[in-house]
Amino acid sequence: MTVLIGLLLAALAISVVTFTTGVPLIIIVILAGIGIGTVWTNSDTLISTLAQANQLGASIGAAQSFKEFGDMIGPLLIGLLTQFFGVRIGFITCGGVALLFLIALARSQTLTALQKS
């Protein structure tokens, strides 16, 4: 649940960051940082909880690989979008992608909970 809340906070804050200035901008950036930090620090815990014991190392390794891939390709894609469509579209796209991952994660947690009961 912590990851879902952090992802929601980050997605919403990132989506509206280009619509604000001054003190509200500072507050939104802080909220985005809290959301991103929450997701970043708790995602490994979520993965280790969902992974089978004999696949824990491979699961964490795959997750870290995808994190690094995202760190590499994300700025390139968002930079390309920003060049063609402007900074606002870049931020809105980042927030939209985060919301899509939020929906996918919420569904997977629901399915996991249903399978356990």
62-92 tens-digit pLDDT:
989 998 998 899 899 999 999 999 999 999 9
Alpha carbon of residue 2 to chain centroid: 12
By CB atoms closer than 10 A (0-12, 13-18, 19+), residue 106 is middle
What phi and psi, each to the nearest 5 degrees, are found at residue 21?
A: -145, 170
pTM of the model: 0.73
Using CA atoms, how far apart are residues 36 and 73, in angstroms rounded to an integer?
Answer: 18
34-62 confidence digits (pLDDT tens): 999 998 888 888 888 888 889 989 999 99
**Domain boundaries, given as residue ranges, for the chain:** 2-116
